[in-house]
Amino acid sequence: MKENLELMKECIEEAKKILNEKRLDYTHSDVIQVAIALFHKIEK
């Protein structure tokens, strides 16, 4: 469980980086959606 929380935190930070690099305007929900997608991709 703790590993998943740390992984999700990393995914959130990575999502923010990706959205900033692409110069996209985003909301918190956009960040979370990208983070969840990254989380599922990494987890598989």
Q: What is the extent of the structural domain holding 20?
A: 2-43
Give pLDDT, residue 44: 74
> How many domains is the chain built from?
1
Sorted by sequence, the CB contacts under 8 Å of residue 26 that are 6+ apart come out as: 19
Nearest to 16 by CA among 37, 43, 34, 2: 34
Digit-coded pLDDT (tens) for 1-44:
789 999 999 999 999 999 999 999 989 999 999 999 999 998 77
Give the chain's largest Cα–Cα span: 33
Give pLDDT, residue 31: 95
